[in-house]
Chains A and B, each alone.
Chain A
């Protein structure tokens, strides 16, 4: 039986089983993540909400599923045949992981935090995609994860959780620049991935 091109492409990215596993990780993480402003360890009188920062975990996981284990083979295929599957895969992954996160929020009755999930999730997906295109899969998870951790520990300045300029997840939800950065990161990440594809394992 002849396997379709789309099926081969999907299989090269881990297919439904691995994507389901990653989505389950996102759901479990957001089921556990506290949403209240809590004291940040070692920072004295400084509070932050772990949840918006934890959403950046999505970026670490997405970079894994965007890497290309058979890049040598893909380079033999004309770019125009790969553009659509890559773009669709990027969209599907984004939707799947955001949906997985939303399920967790819905179970906890925290739908109002969906806006945080959307903003941080889009930024993390875009950054994760860039990371997957620039770094080998063995380390492509590091930049977004590191940013998430640094943002949690040092991204706020006081007990009200006021964000530093560079800490996107901690910005107030009505911050237009933060929303623009998140949307731009997602778009740029998607375009670069569609054009270049993720790096090979190594």
Chain B
């Protein structure tokens, strides 16, 4: 009978990663985002990989039968470990190809590959082996052909339906999201994830070996406890993703022309720093008119350790215009819009109107949506200096 090979996880991983890359326009312009988009493919590849590893183990248990039982215990262990590792290895290889492809796409758009961009691949590889080992261990414990599809479909359903908060697990397989650079995770958090996932893989491998040669159900509880403990440990680090961000001390920065501040970007997007500085120059100048204390205001493309910097969006290949910078800066100036304080609906509307007014002052040449202005009770002409000053006071003090 033909032996099941899990090799096709490799092209599947590569194709899914390509879908992920194409769906995330930012990924083309940043190696970090591109590698992360590749890692994100594991969200759907891991359930598949677990099912395939389980199918391989089921095959050994069911069709190997007496032959497997007749083998010495170390040979059975080697046989199962090798098969379990194959699914993990093919997944990791597909991930490697996808990450390299992402880096090539990023490099072609002027984003140099950096070591930091590739660090999320480490826990992803450890996790791929852990998932395959778990699948194989379950396959040995429950040698039914129905197990692989139910295991894969069950994993999918747990994630998609967010059963028991399972969706928080997706933090392990990438971070491409509106929270721009949660993916710039620090080395300590990354290391903890690698160790946790490796521990889960080791626990599954021990159960796999033991179950194949002795009474299987004795170690099943151990598998459950080990997986839960490893998962809890890996996830504990994600409660505060901002707390683990890589230091931005070595990021490339540029002076904002005509102002005293800097704008800094992640190193793989250094080509955008001058573009951002140019776009911020008039905005920063008008901000200083409202508040002279902000004459040397810094700006950053992520909310990393430069805590006093104002967050501005990265261009990601799109043209940078003054209004988008003004919108970002005005919204950043309002701490209460970031959830620092509970606002009533009325207060929230007032603060939002003040943000719109301030952003209009910071970029006076912009076009405004008349419907928006009417809904906020704002006049349809650009604000005067005094109006902008009042709005600035509202958003900075949240009154």
Contacts and interface: CB of A to CB of B under 8 A. Distances in A.
A148 B149 CA distance: 13
A41 B161 contact: no
Most chain A beta-carbon contacts within 10 A, residue among B23, B40, B162: B23
Interface stretch (A26-34, A91-99, A104-112): A26-34
A145 B20 CA distance: 17
Contacts of B96: none
Main secondary structure of the interface of A (DSSP, over half): helix
B152 A145 contact: yes
B160 A138 contact: no
Interface in B126-178: 145-146, 148-150, 152-153, 156-157, 159-163, 167, 170, 173-178
A28 to B, nearest CB: 9
A64 interface: yes
Contacts of A57: 153, 156-157
Given A43-B23, A148-B156, A136 B4 contact: yes
B48 interface: yes
Interface in B1-46: 1-2, 4, 8, 12, 16, 19-20, 23, 40, 43-44
B1 A64 contact: no
Interface string A1-44: 00000000000000000100100010001001110001001111
B180 to A, nearest CB: 9
Contacts of B175: 42
Contact of B161 (A32, A42, A138): A32
Contacts of B44: 146, 149-150, 153
B4 A142 contact: no
Interface of A: 18, 21, 25, 29, 32-34, 38, 41-45, 50, 53-54, 57, 60-61, 63-64, 136-139, 141-142, 145-146, 148-150, 152-154, 157, 201-202
For the complex of A and B, the 6 pairs showing the least CB-CB separation, nearest first, are: A141-B149, A149-B44, A44-B178, A41-B170, A138-B55, A50-B160
